[in-house]
Chain A
Amino acid sequence: MRQKNGIAVSFSAVSRRFGEVRAVDDVSFEVADGEFFSMLGPSGSGKTTCLRLIAGFEQPDAGHVAVHGVNVEGVPPYERDVNTVFQDYALFPHMTVFQNVEYGLMIRKVAPDERRRRSREMLDLVKLGQMGERKPSQLSGGQRQRVALARALINRPGVLLLDEPLGALDLKLREEMQEELKSLQRQVGITFVYVTHDQGEALAMSDRLAVFNQGRIEQIGTPADIYEHPATAFVAGFVGASNVCSGALAGSISGADRAFAIRPEKISMLAAGERVADGWLSIAGTVRAVTYHGATTRYAVSVEAGELTVMRQNGSDGRAATAAGDAVVLAWPRNLCQPLAERK
């Protein structure tokens, strides 16, 4: 990975409205050079608009967007040192795969020999060396995705923007491509800004990620930061599954009504009456439903002021299976509770 010395992209107090809708609302963040940075959020949370602000398809209403330290307001997309992999790939249907990849170099008037050499190299890099003469319509979804990637990388951009590039692929292929993208990024050393609504994808690939909600950033951090220490109820609920406890439920567990989150896999489920270790929080409840998920089993447990979800690895312990209707005690170390801030 390249030395993280510079700032590739920076947003300072950027806003973008569409009519009444604040698509991006006073957003600030920085992406370091060579970083794999993800913008994670539900649809309509402003992450794609942020990407389009970097690419130059949108202009901010307020604030500044800078790429490699240079303000880019008013700079059209074709003069920016960034390239995009589009959600629908946006391959030119009237050109062959090779012509698609070559397009950026052709526009920049690179000499034909070098153009062909670099395009061939790029196609080899994405493992499509044999497909050059085909039309995009003759490729599978995964192959099109690679062509889009090769086409965007050939100009050797300072920043590569990826707009949900794996969204249209099936699960198996998506997991494969996640690893490939990550290793490709290490190989080329280019800053990746990656937009996704898939929290698993963001956690698996990113160096850092920003969680978006309603046009604002809820939290920025490393995947482990975000997962282990969600700052808000939204992050706790959106990134991985979480029991968000507030109000009466929080009171009945911890004695204070400060909101906190606890991950389902961190809760131990004991038989009623079993002794709880010192320093642990606990609450008694009844199993309402049991759902089998292969590697894990989920238990919905009714407690005094609400319901908690517990997840257990299957076959990891020798305890007898717990069934719906069983009385149980849920317990976990107090320090695993993640206190939540109200949304700013």
Chain B
Amino acid sequence: MSAAIGRAPMFSRMSTLFYVRPRLLLGLLLAPPLIWLGVIYLGSLLSLLLQSFFYIDEFSGTIVREFSLETFRQLFTAANADVFLRTATMAAAVTIAAAVIAFPIAYYMVRYAGLRLKALLYLAVMLPLWSSYLVRVYAWKLILAKEGIVTWFAGQLHLGWLLDAILSIPVIGGPSLSTSYIGSFLVFLYIWLPFMILPIVAALERVPRSLIEASADLGAPPRQTFRKVILPLAFPGVVAGSIFTFSLTLGDYIIPGIIGNSRPLIGQAVYQLQGTAGNIPLAAAFTVVPIVIMAIYLLVARRLGAFNAL
């Protein structure tokens, strides 16, 4: 018996070892991602947080490596507060619009589309993710530009006045779609939409048809069935999707750099501060803002019962 084990090839002995001690295998499998997450991600996040407590000496322009709340005082000046208010508003608008557009698409995919059509729709949702994000954003810049197809199309339909009226709305308007908040909103919405559709599809897939039938059977017309049964059960999917759209919009600095007006969002502010301005502590403090906003967002979502049906 022992001789047989002794002669067994190494793989066989390892299999036996892992079979007898399943936790050892689990540990080995989880070690690389855990080290990655622990050291590279959490480590740098922590050092980032630390940096935000340093400050720039105004005379020499060098970083003073001492604990201070000076940088956070700077963060809450009116100009900077504007930046994150603007970004949070943009992220919220993009998230709400994405949820409103994504839900019917997801619902159609799950309840009505046949197998083949469903596969096709999956492909259609994912396809944009296969091409470069930059290419797509620049394509949108051309579409939305003053000389672009949207302006041309509006002109052909004699709706130029409508486009002008929309662009003349204060704050969100601008000289053209590609240099207004409306433009950056549209592009954000387009780029992040798949990240909203897919989690909602996943959530709706888990709602059995019999629940919808039961609701109708008990006297609920479709509108009420939607409100009382489908939406509450799919809500975790909406929340999951909104975490993507919201946090991706909060952190993005390329889209608003290419399409939108010159007032920066958080991502751009961080980019400028750590690059040209060389103010690493303030850049670090800025990046803490999305983290805090997301934490608050998740707490509110939990309070609303978004995770109850999980």
Contact = CB atoms under 8 A, between A and B. Distances in A.
Interface in A250-274: none
B229 A92 contact: yes
Majority SS at the chain A contact face: loop
B9 interface: no
B32 interface: no
A108 B219 contact: yes
Contacts of A83: 217-218
Nearest to B221: A78
A11 interface: no
Contacts of A82: 217
B214 A90 contact: yes
Pick the most buried of B210, B224, B229, B232: most chain A CB atoms within 10 A of its CB: B210
B309 A84 contact: no
B268 interface: no
A86 B216 CA distance: 12
A87 B217 CA distance: 14
Interface string A75-92: 011100011101110111
**Which of B208, B214, B216, B229 gathers most chain A CB within 10 Å?**
B214
**Taking chain B's interface residues, is the majority helix, strand, or loop, or is none over half, making it mixed?**
helix
Given A90-B208, A93-B309, A107-B224, A57 B218 contact: no
Given A77-B213, A90-B213, A94-B233, A151 B308 contact: no
28 contacts: A55-B217, A57-B213, A57-B216, A77-B213, A78-B218, A78-B219, A82-B217, A84-B213, A84-B214, A84-B217, A86-B210, A86-B213, A86-B214, A87-B210, A90-B211, A90-B213, A90-B214, A92-B211, A92-B214, A93-B233, A93-B309, A94-B233, A94-B309, A104-B218, A107-B219, A107-B220, A151-B218, A155-B218
Interface in A140-166: 151-152, 155
B215 interface: yes
Contacts of B220: 78, 103, 107
A72 to B, nearest CB: 13
Contacts of A87: 210
Contacts of B221: 76, 78
Taking residues whose C-beta sits less than 8 angstroms from the other chain, chain A's interface range is: 20 to 34
A104 to B, nearest CB: 4
Contacts of B224: 107
Interface of A: 55-57, 76-78, 82-84, 86-88, 90-94, 103-104, 107-108, 151-152, 155
Contact of A78 (B217, B228, B232): B217
Top 10 A-B pairs ranked by shortest CB distance? A90-B214, A90-B210, A104-B218, A77-B216, A107-B219, A94-B309, A107-B220, A84-B217, A78-B216, A94-B232
B106 to A, nearest CB: 18
Nearest to B233: A94
A268 to B, nearest CB: 50
A151 B217 CA distance: 11
A92 B224 CA distance: 14
Nearest to B216: A77
A150 to B, nearest CB: 12
Contacts of B228: 103, 107
B98 to A, nearest CB: 24
A86 B215 CA distance: 11
A189 B213 CA distance: 25
Given A86-B210, A92-B211, A104-B218, 8 more contacts: A56-B216, A78-B221, A84-B217, A86-B213, A90-B208, A92-B229, A107-B218, A107-B224
B181 to A, nearest CB: 37
A316 B216 CA distance: 54
B210 A88 contact: yes
